[in-house]
Chain A
Amino acid sequence: MKKFISLLIVLAMLLGCAAAFADDAEAGLLRTAIRYDIRTMDVARTTDDYLIPMNVFDRLFETRRGKDSLEVVKSLITDYSVSEDGLTYTFTLKDGIVFSNGSKLTASDVQYTFERLLKIADQNTEIPLEVVGGAAVMKKEADTLAGFKVTDDTHFSITLTAPNAGFPAELSAPAMSIVDKETTSAAAAFGTEPKDTIGTGPYIVTEWISGDHYTLVYNDKYWGTAPSVKKLIVKTIPDANTQNMMFLNKELDIIDLQNQDAVVIEGTYKSMPADRMVSTPKVGLTYLILNENQKYLKDVKVRKAIGMAINADEIIQGIFKGNAQREKGIIPTGVFAHSDDMKAFTYDPEGAKALLKEAGYAEGEVTFELALNTTKASESVKLVYSYISSQLKKAGITANVVSYEDSAWANKRNSGEMESFVATWGMDYNDPANIMYTFFGTAENVKMRSINYPDASIIARVSAARAIVDDAKREAEYKALDKKLIEEDAAWIPMYAELHLWCLGDRVASFTPQWAGFADFYAADVTLK
């Protein structure tokens, strides 16, 4: 017995010695983690997994955080101009840019990028479809884009089917990552094999072990300023708790706190010095979608009453501990044409009750289903659901939270039959079209998003707004649409936008997140000590 115990002690001591692993990080290495492994590194096949595209590829433009607002800045181009009619854009590529395999970046690479998205015809086809001849390429009726003219290696022009003032912003979306024509067309496994996935960006992906980690290293042929981070290891750690422990144990250098409950963040990281916490408003918003085909929800008064019964501020303070900001319109703060003076939906449960009475509904009569995607919802979002349900109950409205597993959820939503749900949209680029058009731009979008918004004239206006070249006019039109859709029609109940929080480890000097529309970040924005 004694022997057994002493054996245990010796074993424990041995393990203690073996535990010298935490601080062996080499200089220039940044270690971080993601919750779910990526599916592909190819933007033609995903709209979710942008971490690798953002760091390995460049785009013609990038969205950067300016002093007060978001700015679209030139990246691979030195200059561009727009024709009078707003249809034709002419670009000049920077000279001497090479891909990480040494191949030169030329205008035909850009053309190939556009055509490839259309030929694969899977994800992210919306932007190249705007180019003249895009539809024909996608339907395999044409091999090349008619609207894409290559003048020489560095000069090209793009002609759109309709004017779109937001086009440069769209080109900053990760979806428009420029790939190398020769390498990519010859590669068997672009997007799945690291060696085939070649870009001009600051990093080269060298390793991707599904479910475990991937590694990016600095691209020494990179044309821009050399980043401080020379190597990036991204581990797949599905468990948030494990991520927290790893970070606190210095096994991670930076942790993305998105999707963690604010109380946990507060509790876990409260002892962190202020400069270790980095936050940026998430450009996007979380809102309640109400299906206008539903028996009760088709009544605008019911929708407005729902909006008035929900105390968004309490959600922000209670659930997010202030790490969120109030959003009152469709177009989120920081995005072009965002209006600060939206007036809809001040918290007023009595007013909501009165409104329901006015609409002729008895207390408790209005009933609908609040669909929860249990696979994807974070704890905070689950709380928001429970909270909305309990708030509506107080106003005499029954909202039954019904759980759907991911695929069932997607199927039901896409069929346009989901009665209501809480959703979050993160902006892909800095233009209101990205949210307005996606939700209200076509009859199909309206149905597929399960809103079933009935007003065809407004749908037409949303679609047309994209073509207004004059910034002032376009801004005015989008603001008007926002007011109409929310204040008058209560098509959505906008609620809040979470702040995107990161915590920095000891090895990181600073981190300035550039664009927080989507979850991923540029490793080049991190400076190591």
Chain B
Amino acid sequence: MLRTLARRALQALVVLIGVVLLIFVMLRIVPGNPIETMMGEHANAETIARMTKEMGLDQPLLTQFFRYIGSAFRGDFGTSYSLGKPVAQLIGNAFVNTLLLAVFAAVFAWIFGITCGIISAVKKNRLTDRIFMGVSLLGISLPVFMSAMFLQYIFAFKLHWLPISGTDSWTGFILPAIALGWNSAGQVAQITRTTLLETLQEDYIDTARAKGRGPTGVLLRHALRNAMLPVLTMMTIQFSGLLSGAVITETVFSINGVGRLMVQAISGRDIPLLQATALLATTVVILGNLLADSLYSVLDPRIRKEG
């Protein structure tokens, strides 16, 4: 198993290098001089030339790339053009918020999704099933910003239950977490229901029942453990998705997170910031996938021993 993991990790590293290169190149084939953009209204040619040189943008692409990798290893991701602060510091602040948001969202998505999925599977084709599946389908098919806006409008603005925005207290995370997690919750609910129903068709469920296990015992001890394998993998991948995909939610709820930094970086044509945030997001996804793989092989004895 260790060997498999090592191979996977190596693959992930290759992918990571590819990602860095891709981001780096993609951001530099953009037409126009970033410095000029950054200076805005009062740009003057001399200053632009000087800044371009200071930032090393006049060097060949490959030189820039290796220089970037080099300093990135030292934890130096440059200075943000648009916010004037070290990128590492900006991301450090924002990442805490995003992490909290993702954790809240994941907890919501998983608890809600799994519960919904189980209840739906047990009450297959009854009203409860229809309602829960309706709610989860809504989560999948509503654009995130719509659910975010509606939640904000109803629970914060109309009912005054929760803050409209900001991260001053933990309550500020609840609505964004639900908005962000709803989509994942929907997916989790759907897949939990499907796999659980599939699992309940399995022969070993009959065996367990023939043994004298009651419905709850069958569900918890036999069906769920097997059904949860794909769900768990999906959840791990989802978590990294939540961590890196909270752009919209953070914007609507004005949470100072990595996603918003990304938006800031794009509207400000802020290459160092965009580069670093993109790198962070993809690293998280790659690590998430790696974790999902490892988790699967730890949890599923069939893979554990073969690998």
Question: Known: A238-B260, A239-B254, A408-B32. Contact between A121 and B47, CB under 8 A?
Answer: yes
Nearest Cβ on chain B to A374's Cβ, whole angstroms: 10
Q: Is the CB of B43 within 8 A of A414?
A: yes
Is the C-beta of B284 less than 8 angstroms from some C-beta in chain A? no
**Closest Cβ neighbor of B168 among chain A residues:** A21
Q: Is the CB of B47 within 8 A of A411?
A: no
Nearest Cβ on chain B to A214's Cβ, whole angstroms: 12
Contacts of A122 in B (CB 8 A): 39, 47
| B84-130 interface with A by 8 A CB criterion | 84-85, 90, 93-94, 115, 119, 128
How many angstroms from the CA of A1 to the CA of B33 in the assembled complex?
60
Nearest Cβ on chain B to A53's Cβ, whole angstroms: 14
Q: Is the CB of B82 within 8 A of A39?
A: yes
Contacts of B31 in A (CB 8 A): 408, 411
Q: Is the CB of B84 within 8 A of A22?
A: no
Contact flags B240-264 to A (C-beta < 8 A → 1, else 0):
0000000000011110100011011
| A203-238 interface with B by 8 A CB criterion | 209-212, 235-238
Q: Choose one: A48, A123, A212, A237; the contact of B167 (CB below 8 Å).
A: A212
Contacts of A239 in B (CB 8 A): 251-252, 254
How many angstroms from the CA of A406 to the CA of B30 in the assembled complex?
13
Q: Is the CB of B165 within 8 A of A242?
A: yes
How many angstroms from the CA of A12 to the CA of B84 in the assembled complex?
42
Contacts of A251 in B (CB 8 A): 163-165
Contact flags B144-178 to A (C-beta < 8 A → 1, else 0):
00000100110011001111111111010010000
In this complex, how many residues of chain B approach chain A with their Cβ under 8 Å: the count is 54
Nearest Cβ on chain A to B115's Cβ, whole angstroms: 7
Would you call the interface of chain A mostly helix, strand, loop, or mixed? loop
Contact flags A121-139 to B (C-beta < 8 A → 1, else 0):
1111000000000000000
Question: Known: A37-B264, A211-B256. Contact between A414 and B36, CB under 8 A?
Answer: yes
Contacts of A406 in B (CB 8 A): 37, 267, 269
Count A-B pairs with CB separation below 8 Å: 125
Is the C-beta of B40 less than 8 angstroms from some C-beta in chain A? yes
Contacts of A212 in B (CB 8 A): 93, 166-167, 256
Q: Is the CB of A236 within 8 A of B256?
A: yes
How many angstroms from the CA of A489 to the CA of B119 in the assembled complex?
75
Is the C-beta of A472 less than 8 angstroms from some C-beta in chain B? no
Nearest Cβ on chain B to A332's Cβ, whole angstroms: 18
Is the C-beta of A45 less than 8 angstroms from some C-beta in chain B? yes
How many angstroms from the CA of A408 to the CA of B267 in the assembled complex?
11
Q: Is the CB of A19 within 8 A of B160?
A: yes
Contacts of B254 in A (CB 8 A): 235-239, 242
| A224-268 interface with B by 8 A CB criterion | 235-239, 241-242, 245-246, 248-249, 251
Question: Known: A1-B119, A15-B161. Contact between A407 and B37, CB under 8 A?
Answer: yes
Question: Known: A210-B83, A211-B261, A411-B32. Contact between A245 and B269, CB under 8 A?
Answer: no
**Closest Cβ neighbor of A411 among chain B residues:** B32
In this complex, the interface size class of chain A, counting residues with CB under 8 Å from chain B, is: 35 or more
Q: Which of B34, B84, B119 has the most CB of A within 10 A?
A: B84
Q: Is the CB of B164 within 8 A of A246?
A: yes
Q: Is the CB of B161 within 8 A of A242?
A: no
Q: Which of B30, B42, B50, B268 has the most CB of A within 10 A?
A: B42
Contacts of B157 in A (CB 8 A): 245, 248-249
Q: Is the CB of A192 within 8 A of B169?
A: no
How many angstroms from the CA of A414 to the CA of B43 in the assembled complex?
9
**Closest Cβ neighbor of B172 among chain A residues:** A21
Contacts of B36 in A (CB 8 A): 407, 410-411, 414
Nearest Cβ on chain B to A323's Cβ, whole angstroms: 24
Contacts of A21 in B (CB 8 A): 163, 168-169, 171
Is the C-beta of B306 less than 8 angstroms from some C-beta in chain A? no
How many angstroms from the CA of A37 to the CA of B93 in the assembled complex?
15
Is the C-beta of A47 less than 8 angstroms from some C-beta in chain B? yes
Q: Choose one: B33, B41, B82, B169; the contact of A411 (CB below 8 Å).
A: B33
Q: Choose one: A4, A22, A40, A48; the contact of B40 (CB below 8 Å).
A: A48
**Closest Cβ neighbor of B128 among chain A residues:** A1
Nearest Cβ on chain A to B57's Cβ, whole angstroms: 14
| A382-422 interface with B by 8 A CB criterion | 406-408, 410-411, 414
Q: Is the CB of A210 within 8 A of B93?
A: yes
Nearest Cβ on chain A to B136's Cβ, whole angstroms: 15
Q: Choose one: A15, A123, A192; the contact of B84 (CB below 8 Å).
A: A192
Contact flags A306-318 to B (C-beta < 8 A → 1, else 0):
0000000000000
Contact flags B275-299 to A (C-beta < 8 A → 1, else 0):
0000000000000000000000000
How many angstroms from the CA of A211 to the CA of B166 in the assembled complex?
11
Is the C-beta of A375 less than 8 angstroms from some C-beta in chain B? yes
Q: Is the CB of A249 within 8 A of B164?
A: yes
How many angstroms from the CA of A21 to the CA of B34 in the assembled complex?
43
Contacts of B115 in A (CB 8 A): 4
**Closest Cβ neighbor of A124 among chain B residues:** B42
**Closest Cβ neighbor of A251 among chain B residues:** B164
How many angstroms from the CA of A4 to the CA of B114 in the assembled complex?
13
Q: Is the CB of B165 within 8 A of A47?
A: no
Nearest Cβ on chain B to A286's Cβ, whole angstroms: 16
Q: Is the CB of B128 within 8 A of A47?
A: no
Contacts of A273 in B (CB 8 A): none
Q: Choose one: B40, B83, B161; the contact of A47 (CB below 8 Å).
A: B40
Nearest Cβ on chain A to B100's Cβ, whole angstroms: 13
Contacts of B162 in A (CB 8 A): 15, 18-19
Contacts of A236 in B (CB 8 A): 254, 256
Contacts of A411 in B (CB 8 A): 31-33, 36-37
Contacts of B33 in A (CB 8 A): 411
Q: Is the CB of A246 within 8 A of B165?
A: yes
Contacts of B93 in A (CB 8 A): 209-212
How many angstroms from the CA of A140 to the CA of B241 in the assembled complex?
51
Q: Is the CB of A410 within 8 A of B40?
A: yes
How many angstroms from the CA of A1 to the CA of B115 in the assembled complex?
10
Q: Is the CB of A37 within 8 A of B83?
A: yes
Question: Known: A39-B84, A123-B42, A242-B253. Contact between A210 and B171, CB under 8 A?
Answer: no
How many angstroms from the CA of A389 to the CA of B59 in the assembled complex?
44
Q: Is the CB of B161 within 8 A of A12?
A: yes
**Closest Cβ neighbor of A449 among chain B residues:** B41
Question: Known: A4-B115, A12-B161, A39-B83. Contact between A407 and B32, CB under 8 A?
Answer: yes
Contacts of B171 in A (CB 8 A): 15, 18-19, 21
Nearest Cβ on chain B to A54's Cβ, whole angstroms: 18
How many angstroms from the CA of A15 to the CA of B82 in the assembled complex?
38
Contacts of B252 in A (CB 8 A): 239, 242
Is the C-beta of A191 less than 8 angstroms from some C-beta in chain B? yes
Contacts of B267 in A (CB 8 A): 375, 406
Is the C-beta of A16 less than 8 angstroms from some C-beta in chain B? yes
Nearest Cβ on chain B to A406's Cβ, whole angstroms: 6
Contacts of B82 in A (CB 8 A): 39
Given contacts A242-B254, A411-B37, 13 further A-B contacts (CB under 8 A): A19-B160, A39-B82, A45-B84, A123-B39, A124-B42, A210-B83, A212-B93, A212-B166, A212-B167, A212-B256, A242-B252, A410-B32, A410-B43
The 5 closest A-B pairs by CB, nearest first: A407-B37, A211-B256, A212-B256, A411-B32, A407-B269
Identify 10 residue pairs between A and B in the complex whose beta-carbon atoms are under 8 Å apart, listed by A's number: A19-B171, A47-B41, A121-B46, A210-B256, A212-B256, A242-B253, A245-B164, A407-B34, A411-B33, A414-B43
